[in-house]
Structure 1
Amino acid sequence: MEKILIIDDNNDICLLLERFLTKQGYKTASVQRGDDGLTLLRKESFELVICDFKLPDIDGLEMLRRIKVMHPMTAVIIITGYSDVRVAVQTVKHGAYDYVTKPLYPDEILYTIKGALERRSQSISQPKSASPAATVQSPKP
């Protein structure tokens, strides 16, 4: 069962997502502050983190960076009430799977979660191939 961490300062969103995702078969945990999320991530691993971009204590990009440093294979979806294309591009460049604006719609968020987890699984299962530069050939006589 995949574990999903929800980080959002709005407790109603945390509860709504937890109930919905639990019914979909996921194990969930939620916190309202970025620092609390990072503390939990030090103790447990999660396949996916759904993180609000505007947290009271940590900026969304900084939060994303810290999550990726601690757990590079953890998928991250950024959610926000503020639609900004530049921010969306920045978050994806920094390793987020996607950037979803609130209000969250069940079908949309579930589709995004499944896509993020699928990509994570593919990344883990693909063996690292040797790069051409790493291949040493002996000179011919």
Structure 2
Amino acid sequence: MDTNKILIVEDDVVFCKLLTRFLTKNNFEVLDAQAGKSALNLIENNSFGIAILDYRLPDMNGIDILKKIKSQGSTTKVVLMTRYGDEGIANKAVEEGADAFVSKPINPTELLEVIRGL
């Protein structure tokens, strides 16, 4: 598994590309998806060290993707992004095996600290 390879799943294209550029500059290989289906395709065809999943996606939610990653016996670390105030979702994510969660709006530097702490 490539621990330096990160999957970002975020339906806000501008924010997604901003995170992709930021993490690439910090020496990570980043693939991104704007919907759950395309994320699942990437997961099937790649090995990721970390997956950063938005909870709210157009076709499914981040916990659905988290369950898929964990059901494959993957050692991928999962960070779930939720809107500020979604503590119930964060608790459910941890129950399903998420390694960390961050609240939006996200400061990329803080996200980098979370990633390095995994």
TM-score norm. by structure 2 comes to 0.92
What residue in structure 2 maps to residue 11 of structure 1? 13
CA distance in 2, matches of 1:85, 1:79: 11
Instruction: State the distance in 1 between where 2:42 and 2:92 align.
Output: 25
Equivalent runs, 1:1-141 vs 2, <5 Å: 2-116=4-118
Distance 2:84 2:62 in 1: 12
Higher mean C-alpha displacement, 55-64 vs 33-42: 55-64
Kindly state the Cα deviation for residue 58 of structure 1 after the two structures are TM-superposed.
1.0
Question: Does the CA-based 8 Å contact 2:84-2:105 persist in structure 1?
Answer: no
Using the TM superposition, give the Cα deviation of residue 72 of structure 1 relative to its aligned residue in structure 2, in angstroms.
2.4
2:65 and 2:107 map into 1 onto residues whose CA distance is: 24
- Identical counterparts, % of pairs: 39
Q: Which runs of 4+ in 1 moved over 3 A?
A: none
Whose RCO is larger (CA < 8 A, sep 6+)?
2
Give RMSD over aligned pairs. Answer: 1.3
For structure 1, the 5+ residue unaligned runs are 117-141
* CA offsets 1:69-122 (integer angstroms, 9 cap, x no match): 125200010012242222111101111111111111122101111112xxxxxx
Give the partner amino acid of 1:22: T
Give the match's secondary structure for 1:66: helix
The TM-score normalised by the length of structure 1 is 0.77
Larger radius of gyration: 1
Higher strand share: 2
Equivalent pairs counted in the alignment come to 116
Alpha carbons of 1:56 and 1:106: their partners in 2 closer, same or farther (altered >3 Å)?
A: same
For structure 2, the residue ranges without an aligned partner over 5 or more in a row are: none
